[in-house]
Chain A
Amino acid sequence: MNEAVRVRELTRHFGQFVAVDQVSFDVAPGEIFGFLGPNGAGKTTTIKMLTGLLSPTSGTALVAGYDVTQHPDEVKLNLGYMSQLFSLYPDLTVEENIQLFAGLYGVTGGRFAERRDWVLGMAGLTEHRRRSTGELSLGWKQRLALGCAVLHEPPLLFLDEPTSGVDPVSRRSFWDLIYQFAEAGTTVFVSTHYMEEAEYCYRLALMNRGRLIALDRPAALKETLRQPLLELRTDDPPKALEALRGAPGVVEAAMFGRALHVLVQDEHRALRELPQALAARGRSCEALQAVAPSLEDVFVALVRREGGTLDR
């Protein structure tokens, strides 16, 4: 098999609104492919088109070698899907949920018993198998939903913001599971809006307003940021941000937590001159130092370079 996913000029309109705009990319078998972007960037719409939940307005998508619009049945058998809603039946028990999805995918007999026990063990729910799913904690629901999505051992796994709302510890252990799947040869396609999660992916596609604005390994993406990056701490970041715009040597400035990240032409000159420039505009400068760029810096810079604005 060639690519696990092959997408060309994929487009989806909702009336006048263009949710996904001519997106093209390939996903290699066995890789963890990340989809990063703010809410409304078109991540979910793309995943829905790839899983057959939504038909594309134009363009093509091959999943596991099958065209999603022409061979939806073959596509369905080859993928597992888990959404941010952890879509299980809250009024069924853990075991009944597993049984239902196993039945839907034709997992029966001895294979069913084996897969069920594997899911229960993986999710840590062996002792809670007869509990109502609605009573479980979010972390448990998330693992059970993942288990139900891979009962039929699909070569491809689509995870749409699988960790939203889950605490950081559960999120980390969920990623350990994703790595295990990838090592076993499963292709994992995961969308997220958590920057630190995006770092775990082998390759990362950045989306904004329906368009794919960059696609590369996380480290390589950071290298695209040629100019040096400084972090500025000040008493009133929003006012300081205004003061920095158009200051000599400043390429770009953006809020970053309670500090400001400033992209400059020359690191040493900026370290010397920026405090004075701020003082001249009546703003203080508590600390100023060079920092390594994060994915968020890359994302902000790329969006600005495209002439767009950030929808946050």
Chain B
Amino acid sequence: MKRISGLRIREMVKKELRQLLRDPRARGVLFVAPIIQLVMFGYAVNTDIRNTATFVVDQDQSSESRRLIDVLTATGYFEIVGRSQGPADLVRALDRSEALIGLEIPRGFARDLSAGRTAKVQIVLDGTESNSATVAQGYAQRIVQRFSLERAAELGLVPEGGVDLRVRAWYNPNLESRVYNVPAVVAVLIMLMCLMLTALAVVRERELGTLDQLMVSPLTAEELMLSKTLPVAAIGLVDLVLISLVAVVWFDVPIRGFPPSLLLAAVLYILAGLSIGLLISTISRTQQEAFMTMFLFLQPAIILSGFFYPISSMPQIFQWVTLLNPVRHFLEIVRAIFLKGEGLAALWPQYLALTIMAAGVLRLAIIRFPRTVRA
């Protein structure tokens, strides 16, 4: 094998950087768009329940029933969008999606309470929006429970024995989904950028004819791949630092871990991402084909990453598939470093997985490359 030439790589890297950064619009896409996207997604990707549309059917019309409703709305999780005394109105409100949740307080609620009997209330949920409904249900249940405990205490009825369940969320005490999601958005944005910059890199030169011109020169496949890799990796790192700053400063996401270990993970993740992009680029014949292949990879990579859906609740076979997904490993590292303050000691399997992927796929792209020219 021929020796790798520093001069050739230097000239190729200069050329790549010129092509990437010359156009002001391209600079905007590279450095401003990720920040805008992070801010947008940071607000949009939000699974918290606030101001859930609630319809109240109060058939009791007592001070006790009104007190329960007040407690419910005071938390900010629920907003009363309609009141009525007839259950039929509740059905209509849910049918028309005017309300997500319905609270029904039957006649005799206050009477049962003061008599020391168990009073009944009913919560009706719109199950088509299963995610929000489940979360809202949990909140409502806890609020009603607390209400009944307070009432019991006021009446001097000490619950016999029983278990007082206290839930405390570590790392994210208020269970704010933003703190959990923003680091994940960072991971997805970086992957998207790596793929976009590399998936078209080789195939564009093939369409332009410049690839032939490079291949008749002494430039080797290794040198070509390195020159396509280094500039994108540098841009990816700059982007990562920029959007991490936005996450910390704007969204108050804490960085509890050691920032350099985050940087190391980012380098490995970026290398894995752009190796996949380069592989796509070397096996595609046209830019269009490369673009389609890229999205064919990106969609499942996001869904099978644990971003929205927990990996532990996927069927076993998909859990195994996610082990091949760099986004999954980086997400685990990012969330652990940002939120838990963990480091290399606890996360070495994820680091190792990313290293193997980056090296393996890049090697594959290099091996695959000459054949595509000489085929």
Chain A residues proximal to chain B, CB less than 8 Å: 48, 51-55, 73, 76-77, 79, 81, 83, 85-92, 96, 99-106, 108, 148
When distances are taken between beta carbons in the complex, the residues of chain B under 8 Å from A96 are: 15, 18
Q: Can you list 29 pairs linking A and B with CB atoms under 8 Å apart? A: A52-B216, A53-B212, A53-B373, A53-B374, A55-B374, A77-B218, A79-B216, A81-B213, A83-B209, A83-B213, A85-B208, A86-B209, A87-B212, A87-B213, A88-B210, A88-B213, A89-B208, A90-B208, A91-B18, A91-B23, A92-B19, A96-B15, A100-B11, A100-B12, A100-B15, A104-B8, A104-B214, A104-B217, A106-B8
Q: Contact: A73 with B2, CB < 8 Å?
A: yes
- Point out the residue from B2, B7, B209, B216 that lies within 8 Å of A106, measured CB to CB: B7
Contact B15 A76 (CB under 8 A): no
Which residue from B2, B209, B218 sits with its C-beta under 8 Å from A104? B218
Taking a contact as CB atoms under 8 Å apart, the answer to whether A101 and B215 are in contact is: no
Chain A interface SS verdict (over half): loop
CA distance A83 to B212 in the complex (A): 9
Taking the nearest CB of chain B, how far is it from the CB of A74, in angstroms? 10
Q: A76 vs B212: C-alpha distance in the bound complex, in angstroms?
A: 12
A87–B208 touching, CB < 8 Å: yes
- Shortest Cβ gap from B202 to chain A (Å): 14
Enumerate chain A residues within 8 angstroms of B230, measured Cβ to Cβ. Answer: none
Task: Flag whether B27 is at the interface (Cβ < 8 A).
Answer: no
The answer for the CA separation of A77 and B219 in the assembled complex, in Å, is: 10
B66 neighbours in A (Cβ, 8 Å): none
Q: How would residues 212 to 243 of chain B score, 1 for a CB under 8 Å from any chain A CB and 0 otherwise?
A: 11111111000000000000000000000000
User: Contacts of A76 on B, CB cut-off 8 Å?
Assistant: 216-218
Residues of chain B with a CB closer than 8 A to A100's CB: 11-12, 14-15
Query: CB distance A103 to B10 under 8 Å?
Result: yes
With A73-B218, A92-B18, A92-B19 as contacts: A108 and B7 at CB distance below 8 Å: yes
Task: Select from chain B the residue with minimum beta-carbon distance to A51.
Answer: B216
User: B25 within 8 Å of A by Cβ?
Assistant: no
CB distance from A206 to the nearest CB of B (A): 25
What is the CB-to-nearest-CB distance from B235 to chain A, in angstroms, rounded to a whole number? 17
Query: Given A103-B10, A106-B7, do A89 and B210 touch, yes or no (CB 8 Å)?
Result: yes
Which residues from chain A contact B67 at a C-beta distance below 8 Å? none
Taken together as a complex, chains A and B put the C-alpha atoms of A81 and B214 apart, in Å, by 10
Docked pose: A307 CA to B210 CA in angstroms: 39
A148 cross-chain contacts in B, Cβ below 8 A? 213
B22 close to chain A: CB less than 8 A: yes
Number of residues of chain B lying within 8 A (CB) of chain A: 26
**Sorted from nearest, which 9 A-B pairs have the closest CB atoms?**
A103-B11, A85-B209, A87-B209, A87-B213, A104-B217, A81-B216, A87-B210, A55-B374, A51-B216
Cα A55 to Cα B371 with chains together (Å): 10
Consensus secondary structure, chain B interface: helix
**B143 → chain A closest CB, angstroms:** 61
Chain A residues, CB < 8 A from B218: 73, 76-77, 104-106
The answer to whether residues A105 and B374 also contact, given A53-B212, A100-B11 and a CB cut-off of 8 A, is no
Contact in complex: B216, A103 (CB < 8 Å): no
Contact check, A52 vs B210: say whether CB atoms are below 8 A apart. no
Tell me the smallest distance from the CB of A232 to a CB of chain B, in Å: 43
| Closest chain A residue, CB of each to CB of B373 | A53
Nearest B residue (CB) for A79: B216
Which of B8, B18, B214, B374 has a CB less than 8 Å from the CB of A54? B374
Q: Is B11 a contact of A52 with CB atoms below 8 Å?
A: no
For A55, the chain B residues whose CB sits under 8 A away are 374
Contact with A along B1-30 (1 / 0, CB 8 A): 010010110111011001100110000000
Residues of B within 8 A of A89 (CB): 15, 19, 208, 210
Q: How distant is the Cα of A79 from the Cα of B212 in the complex, in angstroms? A: 13
Which partner residue on chain B sits nearest A103 by CB separation? B11
**Are B215 and A52 interface neighbours, CB within 8 A?**
yes
- Distance from A116 Cβ to chain B, minimum over Cβ atoms (Å): 13
A91 to B210, CA, bound (A): 12
User: With the chains together, A73 CA to B23 CA distance in Å?
Assistant: 35
Residue of B nearest to A52 (CB): B216
Closest CB in chain B relative to A119 CB, distance in Å: 15
Instruction: List residues of chain A with CB within 8 A of the CB of B8.
Output: 103-104, 106
Partner among A54, A92, A101 whose Cβ is within 8 Å of the Cβ of B217: A101
| CA of A81 to CA of B217, assembled, Å | 9
A69 CB to closest chain B CB (Å) equals 10
Given the complex, which residues of A lie within 8 Å of B5, measured CB to CB? 106
